[in-house]
Structure 1
Amino acid sequence: MRTIFKLQTLLFSCLSILVLNSCKQEKKDSEIDYSSFSEQDKRKPENALASMDIAEGLQLELFASEPMVVNPTNMAIDARGRIWVCEGRNYRLFANPDNTYDDKGDRILILEDTDGDGVADSSKVFYQGKDVNSALGIAVLGNRIIVSVSPNVFVFTDENGDDVPDSKEILFTGIEGVDHDHGVHAFVFGPDGRLYFNFGNNGRQLKDKAGNIIKDIHGREISNTGNPFREGMAFRTNWDGSQVEVLGNNFRNPFELTIDSYGGLWQSDNDDDGNRGVRINFLMENGSYGFKDMLTGQNWRERRTGWHDEIPKRHWHLNDPGTVPNLLQTGSGSPCGIIIYEDKLLPEIYQNQLIHAEPGHNVVRSYIVSEKGAGYEARIQNLVKSQDDWFRPDDVTVAPDGSLFISDWYDGGVGGHKAEDISRGRIYHLSTKKGYQPVRYDFNTGEGAAEGLLSDNMDVFYQSWQKLNAMGENSEPILKQLIAKGGTSKARALWLGVNISAKADVYMDMALLDGDSKFRAQGVRMAKFAADGASLEGYLEKVVNDPSPQVRREVAIALAYLGTPKAAQLWAILAEQHEAGDRWYLEALGIGSDQYPDLYFNAWKNRIGNDWIDAKGKDIVWRVRASETVPMLAEIIKNENVSDERLPSYFRAFSFKEHPKKNAILMNCLTTEHPIGKKLKALAVGQLDKDFVNNSRKNTQVVKNILPQIEGTPEWLMTIQNLKLKDQNQALFRVLSKSNIDIDLRKEAADVLFDFGGKSLVQDYLQSEVPESNKMQLLGLLGSIRSTDAVDILTESLFSKNLSLPLKRNIVEGLGNTYEGQHKLYDFLKADQLDNAYKKTAVLKLMSSRDSLIRNSAPNFLDEDSVGDLDINALVERTGNSDKGKEIYSMYCSACHVAGESGIEFGPSLSDIGNKLSKNFLYSNIIDPSAGISFGYEGYTLAMKDGKTYTGYILSRTEDELTLKMMGGTQITVNLNDIDKLTAMEKSLMTEGLHKVMNEEEMVDLVAYLGTLKTEG
């Protein structure tokens, strides 16, 4: 068997050398016009470098390509300079049936450049197996190789260094997200000697190798139930899997994290597809990062008081107290591998900065970070940007010489569930000069380890750290030399010093008393690592009045689990130093007080007395969850000088606080005279608990008296719905029929109206003499709500003699959005009752039906011929008319997708589809949308116990309820106990095979338009 592997490796190496040698063209890559190539020639490895725009001072080389490596997902570089690669050839094959399964499983490769010419000439299979299919993380640390592949984290050990694993053990298991990129990701070795990693929002839980759910160091189960953790999480652990800490939670899909020499943590996070909310985060330990509502677990789309007008900011619940702010929002994208570059080879601008692989925009870039108050801000600087929209960099890693390697998934699309191509993949080398000759280190001596400790290569750093750590106090002369150098050398040496238990206090003091705030912030982290209880309080007291808000931020976080009177006093001193508007510092105070809010807050209140109601005091009252903040918050609200802009967020804060008289305090706001009384009353009534109102006739009447004053506001509607005020139907109809009111609010009003028996109001309106444009708006609205009454009205109207053809076409669109409506349309088609003017519209809508009979039969009712067999390779060479394509989009796509400012939000937004998908991928998705369903948009069918059926995708799921979004943009929330059966759909919710109802020219024009939909990021 080993002979066969050697022959395969030799064949791969020979083929790769032939391919890569062909890159040595007569013309320089920069002189080649990449845009002049055909689509097929653009895909060839020998033309790859011609597509690249490389930053000044850098050189890029193609190190390896297919067939030597295919579909690389993550990399590690060992101390010998060899490139270890996880392949994902078998990624989500259930969603890609045309791809050929490798029944041996995916490979972990070792690539090497043995002759120093910058090109890999050796490929070795370290491991191959189905248990590492689509592994998303690899870390090489000495003779141990950590491979992250949900549901497991494996530790392979190569005892004798022959590149064959001698053992394979499970470190963690039970992580969901199998064959899914929202599962577990790569491990990182930290300067403190511990391991760091994360998983996405499909990871759900963490179990030990015996299958038991792990509890964190505070005794809390690590699962995403909301008690207390949600969605994606970041972790720290010892090598044996003990002492697990959840460093942050409520992420969507943080692909990878990185840690700097001072102990600062950084990572990126992916938004829901198409919402231009991709972000970079600095991890404030124990923070919540706002992907889901931290109280209910509801999706960010669910209406709430005080949400932000801009979706990218609304997406992360940034207006909620308790959400850590983002370092940077980069717009659209598909963020992947990330490092903090602290080496010296690259130009100075990139040193001590983040470097990130962003496949969604075909770019590797740096985030130039600077301090701002207690937090940070950043700008983007590109290192490598490709004209090739198949360039999908998914990892970036530092070699022993300080140069970078970039892995390229190389595919027509990125994200979602589809791999367009499984036969290609590239590895690039980025340096300041051509060629690659790894630096070798001697880990057998303290001096050699001291040199290696300064390397950014993780394996070199790890082996150096282990040698110096094993020397114990004997390493101190070396540590002193390293400390004298300053910078990251000093930071790394300090961490080794604090691991010498007998000398830990010396090194903590050294850091805490340093003149540079970075080391003092590190000193706080060191104290949190090495000290506890009263001794930790003593160390924190030394910097509680530090002039740097960055240091005080770390002190606040370190107080979180102490809960002593002394800790409360330290927190109060920190709170006094808060600068109004510094959200980073405010959230640090919140994180520090969340476990003991009353104790810590009262210590501050006792110090500040009655002088609390200034700008910074208002911040603290808004954020901290102490009971006493409830009446204080009401006092802020009632002040005539309260900011109109801040008012919604003040009321939102009530949701996060408990007080025995909270509802009485809110009720008092309804009778308060105020310059912005209407808005204040609307917000107050929306926060009232329904039991408090319903159990008192007086309270109910007070609320009803307020409703006419706030009609048309979200709080007005929430109040009617929550209190089930069925005498408000006329008001509900007024709101749903007004075009100047938010469309989502009108839809919600229509739903409530039908639930309360207001069907006749709508019927009478459609039969009246109001302008046709008004009826059109109402019919469009009816087509996007779930009520069976709405379907009945649409059906009646379709055959009414009083409505025009445009109105009836609109009715057909509406009927096609619901399960019941689709069946009615299908019956009309079979009975030949539909006018030809809107028959094509009906067929198009029915092609998205979950009923396979309807979906497959619908095209048979068209007179047009099908396009037939399509050659995608030929289509991509054609140039379409994007202006005409925009019209095609309006006809075929806008009913389910948003592009720019137009369309209905049901499926993923298309506003950035031109960045994320190549022409090949666009054609493929149009022809077979089920092959590439975006995560979060998988279809489900809910069969209810009362016989009703709903189809859509799950917006959110709490312990008691599930919210489903359906065609047309409507949504329904149902009690889990009322569901008889929840079934995942095998097919996409999107229309199957649009090519069946459009001709080739229309399709080419549509793809031309979709290719223009790009946002900067």
Structure 2
Amino acid sequence: MSVLLRVKNLPLFGLLWYGILFLSCAEKPPQNIAFADLSEEDKRKPENALASMEVHDDSLELTLFASEPMISNPTNMAIDAKGRVWVCEGTNYRSFANPDINYENKGDRIVILEDTDEDGIADTSKVFYQGQDINSALGIAVLGNKVIVSVSPNVFVFTDTDGDDVPDSKEVLFSGIGGKDHDHGVHSFVFGPDGRLYFNFGNNGERLLDKNGDAVKDKYGNEIVGDGSNFREGMAFRMELDGSKLEVLGHNFRNPYELALDSYGNIWQSDNDDDGNQGTRINYVMDYGNYGFKDWLTGQNWRERRTGWEEEIPFRHWHLNDPGTVPNLLQTGSGSPCGMIVYEGDLLPKKFKGRLIHTEPGHNVVRTYIVDPEGAGFKASIENLLTSEDDWFRPDDLTVAPDGSLFISDWYDGGVGGHKAEDIQRGRIYRLAPSKAYKPKSYSFKTGTDAFKGILSDNMDVFYQSWLKLNEMGDAADPFVKEMLTKGDIAKARALWLGAKNWTKSHNYINLALADSDPKFRAQGVRMARYLRQKDLRICLEEAAQDPSPEVRREVALTLRHIGNENAAEIWSELAKRHDPNDRWYLEALGIGSDKFADLYFSKWEESTKPELSSEIAKQVIWRTRASKTVPLTDKIIRGQNLSDDLLERYFRSLDFKEHPQKNQILLSLLNINHSKSKRIQALAIAQLDKEFVLGSPRNLAKVKAVLPKIQGTPEWLMAVKRLELKNQNNYIFEMAQNSESEDLQKEAANLLTETDGTEMIADYLRSTVADNEKMNFLKIMGGVSNDNGVNVLKNALIEDSLSAALNRQIVEALGNSWSGQHSLYDLLENDKLPENSKTAAVLKLMNSWSSEIKQKATQFLADSNQEDLNIEELVAIKGDADKGQELYTTYCSSCHMAANKGVKFGPALSDIGNKLSKQFLYSNIIYPSAGISFGYEGYTVEMNEGSIYTGYVLSRTEDEITLKMMGDTQKSLNLADIKKMEAMDRSLMTEGLHKVMSKEDLVNLVEYLTTLKVDEQAVAVH
């Protein structure tokens, strides 16, 4: 698995250039353009691009460095030591899903752009490589004569041995990474200050295989598979230059774009939420941490009910209530976070040095994050650096040139990817600097003196080649390293890493860092010791464990994770004694450090501390630590403390992560508790009990049944009734389906009622004299029921035709939410058994059918249909009526989507769709919904062994079952052993051909309303 990046001779690139193109961006743009007054066609022209831009620092100027036709659809960038810009293009992005676009059959390109006359505009272009094997590559790193290209399912290493800008070899570094041409796969590689490579992949990455297809293991022997055996979902990695000693730095991300490192060894990345949940985030990557996208224990989706979940969805999304989830630095609301760096150059104003700079195409903005230490973690705030009036401005990556200027790539499209490209011909690269002139510095790397000139560069290639030369020099590089130390800050940090990598000097430089007066260097010293120091690591950690800085002690805790001896336990005990109850970061570092040896570490702390359970420090250490002893201690806290409901839920949730031979017995004993919060404690205890423990003993079951009436109406009561299959509960279940304050609980109760012979009760209710508004509310809840019993009772109500037209339409809506319901509805339509006032509603619903036959035939039952050919460009130019569009949204969209807190949570939420998609993209998604299915919303048809068929998208998957999310916002867990066949659907779950049953005017009004759905950009502090 050799990357072969260690090369002594780094050949110069050749001077042969070809493919010189005429650039529209080379023309000077007209002055004083009011971008908003331009036509839609003129807004798209490169010569008007700068007119839309606002730079939020008067000392900086923006230049359009390159645009179409020189490049198109840039996905990722790198800049080499000569100042040339290397661009991965994505003109074949999701080609299989976008058949209406004329794709380039030769495959995508890696293009090298150069500005030879130093005016800040590229004037030459050449193709380094083109092929279908790099279609939609999402990462490129240029390191000397090596070019690492990340393109799922592979990572390629190209080598240009003779420097002619044509690769002489291509080898596979990793394979087997998720699906081909997928946004949630592998991303770019980054060279770190410690001389190692860093990279990551999203939750479709799934695994790492080597070039032979064999499983890759980390340095501790764990296979890199995201199935929950060791890791989950998206991961961040670190390895040596030759590919050895690979580590998983963090896991359970959804879709991070790429890692950003500073010179001290801190690591950052952004992460995208499930679309529409306003939960995008910025993470500080604390070594070995779990970042909470899926339930760590079960792999279930964050939507699955769990004890103590957060009320606010952006926080619930990341399992932040769970012990063992690292906090977020920032939650940044809606968006589509992409490339990020830590700027350490000198060309931009001083205030930018050390800041995170981040591209956010969903909001058409490049941001900076001001990050400051806080306890063992950090706090951050946002400042915009570059914004645009153009909603096609989609900045997706940024990098630093040898002169310190900032380059920004722009996907330039009506949307932000998400499996659909609106345009494959356009794309831009911008340069941001104090001056428009671009004069890259010239570097040589032949001698130590040459390399010393580039070792502080913020350009990755310059830094890499400088570092490689000085590292190879060994002791001869020491004078250069010592001179760097005198410069302080970033120079000092890089010097310490370089010095420590020289094995003859390693001890000295680690001790130098550990003795520094600045905690950021002492923290770096612990990282260096964790990486490089073996013989006297214990002494180093013992001293650092007494450090006054929680930042330093955090690094000590993380270092203990893989040691597991008595000395490590003593050090962990000292660290735990110094926990600040207000510092969740420190608590999670303690947890990460102890998880593999929890019993040993906790016992040493308990022995030396003899903790009082009234102590907040003790309670938090018990809550987070997974030692067996913490189970009876948690029981004592629950019994002996007057805890709030929120804290009770958190302590009960913590028991899910702990093992003890008497855990179930302890929980059962809580059913007899005499406490001011007895009812809540009893409910939570029942929710934690294992099914086998309860059903395996008549005595245990009797105890549970005796308590159930006391907790009736709670989520825990409903879970117990369902799990234990208790009889004679239908009256209470029906009451819950009607009256619970939680809509989610109402739907769960309605499903259970139809599964327990409660359908006649529902039929009688619909025939009764109860007011229509009450029946309407109940029928909306029935829209979440998908089993055959529920479908039949609704179908029979339609046939009877004893209800009002409004109620009939609501029944049609409910039936259309399931596979069997759709077939029943179509049978009624085809056999003319539907009430006349329900036929149009039925056709609209069936146009959304998962059966292609039903979808195609449904429209023939409409008296008229709008078959007019629609020109999207013409539609974009028409101004609609947003107020009328809101009414249309309620009619056509709210049954599947949420917007402005109204609707059904089935498809992606649309509350911020006006920020993420342009008008053109909105029209395209409505007219061609199957061309851009959001990741996580791909439909599946599941056929059971007993004949039932379910359709929806997969919420979660464990070793034994999958959970489907179905229309009507209902969920269904299915045992894998009971599944006969499971097939991915080739069409969107969204209504196909919706525009055909709307007038042109209505379509325009609907889209006008959708453009108004924008959430104000706002960051949320760590929760």
Counterpart in the other structure of 2:915 = 915
Within 5 A, what are the aligned runs for 1:240-259?
A: 240-259=242-261
Amino acid at match of 1:697: P
Matches of 2:21 and 2:831 in 1, distance apart?
65
TM-score by length of 2: 0.97
Amino acid at match of 2:774: N
Q: Which moved more, 1:786-795 or 1:597-606?
A: 786-795
Query: Could you say if the C-alpha distance between residues 590 and 468 of structure 1 is closer, same or farther in structure 2, counting changes exceeding 3 Å?
Result: same
CA contact (8 A) 1:343 1:456 kept: yes
Counterpart in the other structure of 2:5 = none
* Residue 181 (1) aligns with residue 188 (2): no
Matches of 1:108 and 1:504 in 2, distance apart?
39
Counterpart in the other structure of 1:157 = 159
* Residue 993 (1) aligns with residue 998 (2): no
Counterpart in the other structure of 2:537 = 536
Counterpart in the other structure of 1:507 = 509
Matches of 2:358 and 2:798 in 1, distance apart?
54
Matches of 1:49 and 1:677 in 2, distance apart?
65
CA contact (8 A) 1:391 1:411 kept: yes
Counterpart in the other structure of 1:399 = 401
Amino acid at match of 1:431: A
Counterpart in the other structure of 2:834 = 834
Secondary structure at the counterpart of residue 581 of structure 1? coil
Secondary structure at the counterpart of residue 367 of structure 2? strand
Counterpart in the other structure of 1:463 = 465
Counterpart in the other structure of 2:6 = none
CA contact (8 A) 2:203 2:254 kept: yes
Counterpart in the other structure of 1:693 = 694
CA contact (8 A) 1:944 1:980 kept: yes
Counterpart in the other structure of 1:526 = 528
Within 5 A, what are the aligned runs for 1:900-979?
A: 900-979=900-979
CA contact (8 A) 1:867 1:999 kept: no
Counterpart in the other structure of 2:734 = 733
Counterpart in the other structure of 2:22 = 15
Counterpart in the other structure of 2:1021 = none
Residues 904-930 of structure 1, C-alpha deviation per residue, up to 9 Å, x if partnerless? 011111011111110000000111100
Amino acid at match of 1:918: S
Counterpart in the other structure of 2:795 = 795
Matches of 2:880 and 2:645 in 1, distance apart?
49
Q: Which moved more, 1:443-452 or 1:224-233?
A: 443-452
How big is the shift at 1:177? 2.6
How big is the shift at 1:857? 1.4
CA contact (8 A) 2:149 2:157 kept: yes
CA contact (8 A) 2:897 2:910 kept: yes
Residues 818-847 of structure 1, C-alpha deviation per residue, up to 9 Å, x if partnerless? 112212222222233334433221111101
Secondary structure at the counterpart of residue 683 of structure 1? helix
Q: Which moved more, 1:326-335 or 1:835-844?
A: 835-844
How big is the shift at 1:806? 0.9
Matches of 2:994 and 2:803 in 1, distance apart?
29
Amino acid at match of 1:440: S
Matches of 1:713 and 1:750 in 2, distance apart?
15
Secondary structure at the counterpart of residue 355 of structure 1? strand
Matches of 2:813 and 2:911 in 1, distance apart?
22
| Equivalent of residue 307 in structure 1, options 306, 309, 317 | 309
Matches of 1:267 and 1:821 in 2, distance apart?
44
CA contact (8 A) 2:911 2:1015 kept: yes
Counterpart in the other structure of 1:546 = 547
Unmatched runs of 5 consecutive residues or more in structure 2 = 1-13, 1018-1023
Matches of 2:684 and 2:33 in 1, distance apart?
62
* Residue 816 (1) aligns with residue 816 (2): yes
CA contact (8 A) 2:263 2:493 kept: yes
Within 5 A, what are the aligned runs for 1:213-228?
A: 213-228=215-230
How big is the shift at 1:178? 1.0
Within 5 A, what are the aligned runs for 1:757-906?
A: 757-906=757-906
Q: Which moved more, 1:75-84 or 1:809-818?
A: 809-818
Q: Which moved more, 1:432-441 or 1:989-998?
A: 432-441
How big is the shift at 1:714? 1.1
Matches of 1:761 and 1:829 in 2, distance apart?
26
Secondary structure at the counterpart of residue 909 of structure 1? coil
Matches of 2:323 and 2:912 in 1, distance apart?
30
Residues 467-522 of structure 1, C-alpha deviation per residue, up to 9 Å, x if partnerless? 11011111111111101111010000100011110111100000001000000000
Secondary structure at the counterpart of residue 102 of structure 1? coil
Within 5 A, what are the aligned runs for 1:665-680?
A: 665-680=666-681
Query: Could you say if the C-alpha distance between residues 159 and 9 of structure 1 is closer, same or farther in structure 2, counting changes exceeding 3 Å?
Result: closer
Amino acid at match of 1:827: D
* Residue 639 (1) aligns with residue 640 (2): yes
The count of aligned residue pairs is 1003
Counterpart in the other structure of 1:440 = 442
Residues 217-250 of structure 1, C-alpha deviation per residue, up to 9 Å, x if partnerless? 1111100110110000000111222111000010
Within 5 A, what are the aligned runs for 1:604-615?
A: 604-615=605-616
How big is the shift at 1:415? 3.1
Q: Which moved more, 1:947-956 or 1:586-595?
A: 947-956
Matches of 1:157 and 1:936 in 2, distance apart?
36
CA contact (8 A) 1:605 1:612 kept: no
CA contact (8 A) 2:611 2:618 kept: no
CA contact (8 A) 1:23 1:47 kept: no
Matches of 1:345 and 1:669 in 2, distance apart?
64
Counterpart in the other structure of 1:597 = 598
Within 5 A, what are the aligned runs for 1:200-211?
A: 200-211=202-213
Counterpart in the other structure of 1:626 = 627
Matches of 2:805 and 2:29 in 1, distance apart?
64
Amino acid at match of 2:393: F
How big is the shift at 1:887? 0.6
Counterpart in the other structure of 1:1006 = 1006
Secondary structure at the counterpart of residue 75 of structure 2? strand
Q: CA RMSD in A?
A: 1.4
Counterpart in the other structure of 1:53 = 54
How big is the shift at 1:338? 0.7
Counterpart in the other structure of 1:724 = 725
Amino acid at match of 2:926: I
Counterpart in the other structure of 1:704 = 705
Counterpart in the other structure of 1:3 = none
Query: Could you say if the C-alpha distance between residues 435 and 24 of structure 1 is closer, same or farther in structure 2, counting changes exceeding 3 Å?
Result: farther
Matches of 1:865 and 1:1004 in 2, distance apart?
17
CA contact (8 A) 1:117 1:435 kept: yes
Amino acid at match of 1:312: P
Matches of 2:415 and 2:115 in 1, distance apart?
30
Secondary structure at the counterpart of residue 562 of structure 2? coil
How big is the shift at 1:727? 2.7
Matches of 2:291 and 2:628 in 1, distance apart?
24
* Residue 982 (1) aligns with residue 982 (2): yes
How big is the shift at 1:612? 4.6
Within 5 A, what are the aligned runs for 1:402-417?
A: 402-417=404-419
How big is the shift at 1:867? 4.3
Unmatched runs of 5 consecutive residues or more in structure 1 = 1-5
How big is the shift at 1:860? 1.8
Matches of 1:640 and 1:357 in 2, distance apart?
47
How big is the shift at 1:199? 0.5
Matches of 1:631 and 1:611 in 2, distance apart?
14
CA contact (8 A) 2:671 2:682 kept: yes
Amino acid at match of 2:125: S
TM-score by length of 1: 0.97
Query: Could you say if the C-alpha distance between residues 714 and 415 of structure 1 is closer, same or farther in structure 2, counting changes exceeding 3 Å?
Result: farther
Matches of 2:343 and 2:614 in 1, distance apart?
44
Within 5 A, what are the aligned runs for 1:249-398?
A: 249-398=251-400
How big is the shift at 1:210? 1.5
CA contact (8 A) 2:780 2:814 kept: yes
Amino acid at match of 1:656: F
Matches of 2:621 and 2:923 in 1, distance apart?
53
Residues 844-880 of structure 1, C-alpha deviation per residue, up to 9 Å, x if partnerless? 1101112112101111211233141001101101111
